[in-house]
Amino acid sequence: MAKYPCPCCGFLTLDEKPPGTYYICPVCFWEDDRVQFDDPDYRGGANRGSLREARENYRRIGAIDENSLRHVRAPLADEVPPSSKVGSDE
């Protein structure tokens, strides 16, 4: 089964193609939200902070925010994408 990249951390953790699946990534704890995908500075919706803030937090602390640290795990070997765009703002 194909996996798709999380819009926040970039690891291949989603079972359906984003945006708008509302799946929660087990690596960074981001909930895939179409509104926040289309406007990465939008705060609210499925996630408290913006996608841009969550990406920065993931790079800095390994989760979308400090409260989410207890819910995350390291990516599995098959979740690492072939490219090195993990956690990028692209």
What tens digit of pLDDT does each residue of 38-88 get? 999 999 989 999 999 999 999 999 999 999 999 999 999 999 998 755 555
Has residue 27 got a pLDDT over 80? yes
Q: Which residues of 41-61 are buried (b: 16+ CB within 10 A; e: fewer)?
A: ebeeeebebbbbbbbbbbeee
Give me the pLDDT at residue 84, please.
58
Q: How confident is the model at residue 1 (pLDDT cuts 50, 70, 90)?
A: confident
Global pTM reads: 0.89
